[in-house]
Structure 1
Amino acid sequence: MKALSQKRRHPLAAIALLLLGLMLTGGLYAAATTVNQAKADTTTFSAQDTKEGQKLFVANCATCHGMGAGGSPTGPSLVGVGAAAVDFQVATGRMPLEANGPQAQEKPRQFNETQTKQLAGYIASLGAGPAIPEEHYLDGKGNAATGGELFRVNCAMCHNAAAAGGALTRGKFAPALAGVSSQHIYEAMVTGPQNMPVFNDANITPDDKRDIITFLQTIDASGSPGGADLGSLGPVSEGLFIWVAGLGVVIAFTIWLTSRTS
């Protein structure tokens, strides 16, 4: 007992306990994240998908991303980005990249649905990462009110409270979300394309992502019941319109009165 007591008073005992606590905390966090991720990431690919995807990758993507997708001076590594990242970037036409610029532009897709799946299968085989989400989270049957709160807290500062998009720094921008498919919205949240942060399942759960998607579908379907939305850019565009239109009416009325008196 005396020896044990002396060890507890050792000057390195506090450091050892701190390291043990950090390791335990990190292990529990990693386990919880893995469990949450598994709830939504269930997509599997056949060996044939992976094989065909590798051929497509070598022919179309390896120039920038390297033969083994390990990256190069002109393109980042794709190991561990997951199938969701490939599906989002390729299915929206952002990849292959058309031209260098502040960020990849959406354009007509160059690969069909089968080829996109094959590319995603190959990249998914290189390392664990976010997978294509289940249909359950894309059905638009979540809670729109909760989704609206989550969107305003996490997304509105870039995408605008009405999801109309907004400008960022150095020529970058957050795109408008009207008309974007549910699958691509979900994939963007879990992969963080361009300047977007990653909202993994520990930040926003799959059910919360479903609520956000439902909210976006709701405002997309409702249109602008109050009249012209002026781009949904808020009080700046509305104030400018009132100023220009109101001043125009005053000038026109003044000219009319002047012409009448003369």
Structure 2
Amino acid sequence: MKALAARRRSRYAPVILLLLALLMTGGVLALVDAGTADATSAESSSEDAEAGERLFQANCATCHGLDATGTDIGPSLVGVGAASVDFQMATGRMPMRMNGPQAPAGNPSFTPEEINQVAAFVAALGPGPSVPTAEQVDPEMGDAANGMELFRTNCAMCHNAVGAGGALSEGRYAPALDGSTPTEIYEAMLTGPQSMPVFNDANITPEGKRDVIAYLVAQRDVSVGGLSLGSVGPVNEGVWVWIVGMGVLVAASVWIGAKSS
């Protein structure tokens, strides 16, 4: 029997058993670490939300209400998500400094950490768009050619073909995008601030949004020579040619007429 058992035992058995033991140990450790990480993340998120609630009540509740459900001055923030808060506060649009057709961009009033805390508080009020990841807004991973088609189809009528901005009705305007960060551009498409419509993932996919960012970033390095005149397009360039060109022709005609007489 011993001889039969010895023949059945493979010389690779100890190695296989060792590998199985290592795999089981690694799996157990991974589960323990994941549970610890989730608990730490949840605790950190809870602390951020609590700190954000204090900041919100001190700086935002006058317009949006203590529970962020809105007042006659400001809208409800329940369900707007962290992306909306991050965009509005990081661009300095909120807190709004004065009433007007729309909130102008400016220097942010809060640090990035404080903005994250307020965003965490608002995100806890209801489901909404979250702040995009670094991969989602990386222009190097986007297709600028496809982004050009998407931008000129959906955005150029307000922002100009290269994102130079433009005027809208009733004192509102589409801002220039040459100073906007990729994250701000993505968040604007996702949340639709001011007069801008919302481009959710059904309208423009996350990859499409990244392509739009790639196109806009590519325009910042384009130089075709001469004066761009704000890159607004043929309208202001035509006005410039009309005023200067016709002015020169009229002046030359007057001069020729004066010399001939």
- Give the TM-score taking structure 1 as reference length: 0.80
Secondary structure of the equivalent of 1:178? coil
Q: Which moved more, 1:147-156 or 1:134-143?
A: 134-143
Amino acid at match of 1:199: F
Give the equivalent residue in structure 1 for 2:178. 178
Identity of aligned residues (%): 55
Amino acid at match of 1:252: A
Deviation at 1:259, TM superposition (A): 5.3
5 Å matches for 1:1-262? 46-141=45-140, 142-222=142-222, 224-258=223-257, 260-261=259-260
d(CA) in 1 for partners of 2:230, 2:195? 22
Deviation at 1:245, TM superposition (A): 1.2
Deviation at 1:105, TM superposition (A): 0.8
d(CA) in 2 for partners of 1:101, 1:232? 27
d(CA) in 1 for partners of 2:86, 2:236? 36
Give the equivalent residue in structure 1 for 2:7. none
d(CA) in 2 for partners of 1:179, 1:59? 30
Alpha carbons 1:65, 1:78 under 8 Å: kept = yes
Give the equivalent residue in structure 1 for 2:4. none
Secondary structure of the equivalent of 1:137? coil
Amino acid at match of 2:60: C
Secondary structure of the equivalent of 2:52? helix
Amino acid at match of 1:202: A
Deviation at 1:257, TM superposition (A): 3.0
Amino acid at match of 2:245: G
State the number of aligned residues. Answer: 219
C-alpha RMSD of matched pairs (Å): 1.6
d(CA) in 1 for partners of 2:148, 2:66? 43
d(CA) in 2 for partners of 1:248, 1:235? 19
d(CA) in 1 for partners of 2:119, 2:221? 31
Give the equivalent residue in structure 1 for 2:10. none
d(CA) in 2 for partners of 1:179, 1:106? 11
Deviations 1:74-93 (A, max 9, x none): 11000100000000000111
d(CA) in 2 for partners of 1:257, 1:166? 41
Gaps of at least 5 residues in structure 2 are 1-40
Deviations 1:38-86 (A, max 9, x none): xxxxx98621111100000000001110111011111100010000000
Q: Which moved more, 1:166-175 or 1:44-53?
A: 44-53
Amino acid at match of 2:256: L
Alpha carbons 1:53, 1:119 under 8 Å: kept = yes
Amino acid at match of 1:79: V
Deviation at 1:189, TM superposition (A): 0.5
Alpha carbons 1:179, 1:220 under 8 Å: kept = no
Gaps of at least 5 residues in structure 1 are 1-42
d(CA) in 1 for partners of 2:102, 2:249? 44
d(CA) in 1 for partners of 2:252, 2:146? 48
Secondary structure of the equivalent of 1:221? coil
Alpha carbons 1:164, 1:176 under 8 Å: kept = yes
Q: Pick 1 or 2: higher relative contact order, CA cutoff 8 A, min separation 6.
A: 1
Secondary structure of the equivalent of 2:124? helix
Deviation at 1:179, TM superposition (A): 1.5
d(CA) in 2 for partners of 1:153, 1:227? 28
- Give the TM-score taking structure 2 as reference length: 0.80
d(CA) in 2 for partners of 1:148, 1:126? 36
Deviation at 1:231, TM superposition (A): 2.0
Deviation at 1:261, TM superposition (A): 4.4
